[in-house]
Amino acid sequence: MSESWFYFIFLGITLAAPIGPISLEMLKKGLILGFWGALAVGLGGLSADFVFMGLIYGGAVALFTNPLIHGTMMVIGAVMLLYLGYQSFNRPRFSMAIGERDHEEVTCVKSYLIGFGIAILNPLNIMFWFGIYGSTLSHLSIHHTNTAVLLNSFYILLGVLIWNILISILIHVLRTSIHERAIYRINIVAGICLLFFGLTFTYQAFDFIYLESGWFD
């Protein structure tokens, strides 16, 4: 069983490790609010993962595999990422000198909600939980008790949490050691990447709606 729990924690870490919308938003919020700002985004994403897990256990897989709901969520997710990317360019100056204004506009609660929104509407996240995790769950149910399956599922979330904490610490350390111009450039690069993900999801939504869902047949 020792190998089992390590495997599922590592699975959670590998799920969270690739650079994606959540990581980029953690970077943006962490540069303003430090450790807690970055972690708030990560916890928001983790909460969405918990919701997905609960829906799968509740037998609601068909809800997210419904073409209408799936396509709608893909469109909303694409719009959210495009907006977050646009926001990165909508500041005349991203400066530590305007930190008071940033702290008023960006709070940990708002960061948490943004992280939750990105994760719950991210097509890649939906694909993992209802595709890879759903099939893994079916396989585990054959060889393990329900308690063991549930425990292994929480190990996945623990792996995601561990990665979020490590990244939040790293962002906090970088924030205190880099100068203003570097922060500005990082924010712009993060914005470009978010726009890229937004455009990618827009294309995927278009492809799904017109070629796979049969909405317009």
Percent of the chain past pLDDT 70, that is, above it, reads: 70
Nearest to 9 by CA among 1, 61, 130: 1
Q: Has residue 144 been placed in a domain?
A: yes
**From CA 84, how far away is CA 204, in angstroms rounded?**
18
At residue 52, the pLDDT reads 84
> How many other C-beta atoms lie within 10 A of the C-beta of residue 41?
33
Look up the domain containing 101 and give its range: 2-212
Q: Has residue 132 been placed in a domain?
A: yes
pTM: 0.72
The mean pLDDT value for 187-191 works out to 77
Evaluated on CA atoms 84, 40, 51, 113, the torsion sign reads: negative
Q: How many domains does the chain have?
A: 1
**DSSP per-residue letters across 85-146:** HHHTTS-S---GGGHHHHHHH--HHHHHHHHHHHHHH-HHHHHIIIIIHHHHHHHHHHHS-H
Query: Is the per-residue pLDDT at 143 higher than 60?
Result: yes
The two tokens of residue 57 are 């256990």
Q: Has residue 217 been placed in a domain?
A: no
Q: Has residue 208 been placed in a domain?
A: yes
Q: Has residue 169 been placed in a domain?
A: yes
Q: Has residue 117 been placed in a domain?
A: yes
Per residue in 151-175, pLDDT (tens digit) is 878 888 898 899 999 999 988 888 8
Per residue in 34-48, pLDDT (tens digit) is 899 999 999 999 999
